Amino acid sequence: MTILRDYERTSGQMINKSKSFFYLHDKTPLIVAIRMRRLTGIRQGNFPFVYLGCPVFYGRKVASYFEDLVRKIARKILTWHNRFLSFGGKFVLINHVLQSMPVFLLSAMNPPQKVIEQIHQIFAKFFWGNMGGIRGKHWIAWDNMCFPKEEGGLGFRSIKDINKALFAKLWWNFRVSTTSLWGRFMWNKNAGASHVWIKMLNVREEVEHDIWWQLKAGNSSFWFDNWTRQGALYFTEENLLNGEDLEVKDFIRNGIWDSNKLKEHVSEEMANHIIENIKPQINEDITDKA
């Protein structure tokens, strides 16, 4: 309660206990829940629940937690059901209305594959749907319709690809904004069991090679950051990683590259590329930037 009172005093906002809930793990002893209710005067809520449009839960992801999103999209389509829409009109509605509806949730969560397939199925049924009581035939699989027009598709965006792109953006922000509040939180959070963290790690490899680190203090990882403009060295210099946790500045002496040390750790070709093309600028007051 001290923390809640400190929050009220600092923010000037009073906690409305009639609209507030506290949440406990299912295995929490009943006596603890009773004491919490008596101490705080706040009701106990149950998992899962929806907050800002996103399901909040712990443990395994279940497709039923995302039913609100699926129903919301289906209800939107019902408002157009009685209209005779051309394929071009449906294309515009799917691309610019329906596919934008789950973006907020997809930027914060990773729905089960079953949910994504349900949404794609709804899109496909709407696109090929009923015209004059006749059920439309699905001439092309939805996944193929999501290819660019140049590759034989129609240019629809795959929800799976949107989700992947949004988590790639999260990883980018995490790597280049470590001084932000969110970046510091993620760096220090024990996120091993987080669904968001696991999804971010799944896209890490594809993003890391496109993050080019400009040397300032030389605090970039020698092996794992792309500071050579040719990709991270652990990827380009196969079998040469010796397990040392090194930073780029460890290879700079008196403002110039230590060529001998470089050639001990990477191929001669890569060492020459570094010496000839990358200026060993060291400014300890400015951290390396992407």
- The last residue of a domain, from among 119, 140, 158: 158
Question: Residue 289 and residue 220: Cα distance in Å, rounded?
Answer: 9
| Residue-wise pLDDT tens digits, 83-126 | 788 888 899 999 999 999 999 888 888 888 999 999 999 999 89
| Residue-wise pLDDT tens digits, 162-182 | 999 999 998 888 887 767 787
Kindly give the interhelix angle for 113-128 and 159-176, rounded to the nearest 10 degrees: 130
Q: Same domain, yes or no, for 225 and 290?
A: yes
CA pseudo-torsion sign 272, 277, 279, 280: negative
Secondary structure (H, E, C), the chain:
CHHHHHHHHHHCCCCCHHHCEECCCCCCCHHHHHHHHHHHCCEECCCCEEECCEEECCCCCCHHHHHHHHHHHHHHHHCCCCCCCCHHHHHHHHHHCHHHCCHHHHCCCCCCHHHHHHHHHHHHHHHHCCECCECCCCCCCHHHHCCCHHHCCCCCCCHHHHHHHHHHHHHHHHHHCCCCHHHHHHHHCCCCCCHHHHHHHHHHHHHHCCCECECCCCCCECCCCECCCCCCHHHHCCCCCCCCCCEHHHHEECCEECHHHHHHHCCHHHHHHHHHHCCCCCCCCCCCEC
Residue 51 within any structural domain of the chain: no
Question: Residue 208 and residue 232: Cα distance in Å, rounded?
Answer: 8
Check if the beta carbon of residue 99 is closer than 8 Å to that of residue 156: yes
Question: Residue 32 and residue 57: Cα distance in Å, rounded?
Answer: 20
| Residue-wise pLDDT tens digits, 269-278 | 888 888 888 8
What is the residue range of 25's domain? 2-46
Q: Same domain, yes or no, for 73 and 154?
A: yes
Residue 53 within any structural domain of the chain: no
First and final CA of the chain: distance in angstroms?
43
Q: Same domain, yes or no, for 194 and 167?
A: yes
Check if the beta carbon of residue 227 is closer than 8 Å to that of residue 236: no
Which of 54-58, 141-145, 167-171 has the weakest average pLDDT? Answer: 54-58
Residue 272 within any structural domain of the chain: yes
Question: Residue 278 and residue 283: Cα distance in Å, rounded?
Answer: 15
Q: Same domain, yes or no, for 80 and 26?
A: no
196 or 285, which is more confident?
196
Which of 56-60, 158-162, 168-172 has the weakest average pLDDT? Answer: 56-60
Residue 57 within any structural domain of the chain: no
187 or 164, which is more confident?
164
- The last residue of a domain, from among 94, 124, 158: 158
Residue 56 within any structural domain of the chain: no
**Averaged pLDDT for residues 32-51:** 89
Q: Same domain, yes or no, for 77 and 147?
A: yes
Full-model pTM: 0.74
Domain count, the chain: 4
